[in-house]
């Protein structure tokens, strides 16, 4: 699976140059070589208009719009080559309400800080192995929010629901 990861073009965003360096090390460690960085939401949106990426790793506290805001703008902009690109939000916040807000903005996957190479690799493999249909309707643009059980007949598919507790399991998929 690492061979397929090596071919990915990734945009990674963070305000903190140290965290960008850490993310580059993590991505290089799992075999990814084509990495572009952005240190603000404005830079991220410019890069997303400029060239095509296979995935976006975006932090929740990216100034000035935040990761959720950038995702919402990306999904609403049909002239970018990345409107349908999977977005992985990296966040310190992990309340059910925040995860639902991110999901409703069009975030594909969620990683709760602290970030590890194993978790990043799992999320990237998830978007490669189980791509979701893109939905573009009034009020929502983004990946299909329903997860399907792979290779199961439709009658056996189950919808995942958000946990009832105020804190979801660590690094739970959205």
pLDDT, tens digit, 9 for 90 and up, residues 65-80: 999 999 999 999 887 8
137 belongs to a structural domain: yes
User: Which pLDDT value is given to residue 159?
Assistant: 43
Mean per-residue pLDDT over the chain, rounded: 86
User: Which pLDDT value is given to residue 157?
Assistant: 45
User: Which pLDDT value is given to residue 89?
Assistant: 97
User: Which pLDDT value is given to residue 79?
Assistant: 78
H runs (alpha helix) in the chain:
2-6, 17-29, 41-50, 66-76, 96-105, 117-129
22 belongs to a structural domain: yes
136 belongs to a structural domain: yes
145 belongs to a structural domain: yes
CATH, residue 19: 3.40.50.2300
Give the chain's domain count.
1
Range of the domain at 113: 2-156
Structural contact between residues 73 and 103, judged by C-beta atoms closer than 8 angstroms: no
User: Which pLDDT value is given to residue 114?
Assistant: 92
pLDDT in tens, the chain (174 residues): 446 899 999 999 999 999 999 999 999 999 999 999 999 999 999 999 999 999 999 999 999 999 999 999 999 988 789 999 999 999 997 899 999 999 999 999 999 999 999 999 999 999 999 999 999 888 899 999 776 555 444 444 444 444 444 445 556 556
174 belongs to a structural domain: no
Strand 34-38 versus strand 9-13 pairing type: parallel
Structural contact between residues 59 and 67, judged by C-beta atoms closer than 8 angstroms: yes
Structural contact between residues 173 and 126, judged by C-beta atoms closer than 8 angstroms: yes
124 belongs to a structural domain: yes
User: Which pLDDT value is given to residue 3?
Assistant: 63
**Alpha-carbon distance values, 128 to 93, 99, 108, 120, 161 (Å):** 25, 21, 12, 13, 23
Task: Provide the whole-model pTM.
Answer: 0.82
User: Which pLDDT value is given to residue 146?
Assistant: 76
User: Which pLDDT value is given to residue 172?
Assistant: 57
User: Which pLDDT value is given to residue 90?
Assistant: 96
75 belongs to a structural domain: yes
97 belongs to a structural domain: yes
pLDDT, tens digit, 9 for 90 and up, residues 108-129: 999 999 999 999 999 999 999 9
């Amino acid at each position: 699976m690492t061979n397929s990861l090596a071919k990915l073009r990734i945009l990674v965003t963070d305000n903190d140059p140290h965290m960008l360096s850490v993310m580059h090390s993590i991505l290089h460690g799992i075999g990814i070589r084509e990495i572009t960085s952005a240190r603000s939401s404005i830079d991220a949106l410019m890069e997303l208009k400029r060239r095509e990426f296979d995935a976006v790793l975006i932090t929740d506290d990216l100034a000035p719009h935040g990761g959720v805001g950038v995702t919402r703008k990306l999904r609403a902009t049909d002239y970018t080559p990345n409107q349908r690109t999977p977005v992985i939000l990296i966040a310190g916040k992990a309340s059910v309400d925040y995860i639902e807000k991110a999901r409703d903005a069009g975030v594909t996957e969620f990683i709760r800080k602290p970030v590890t190479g194993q978790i990043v690799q799992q999320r990237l493999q998830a978007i490669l192995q189980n791509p979701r249909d893109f939905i573009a309707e009034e009020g929502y643009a983004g990946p299909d929010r329903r997860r399907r059980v792979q290779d199961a007949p439709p009658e056996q598919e189950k919808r995942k629901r958000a946990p009832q507790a105020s804190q979801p399991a660590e690094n739970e998929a959205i």
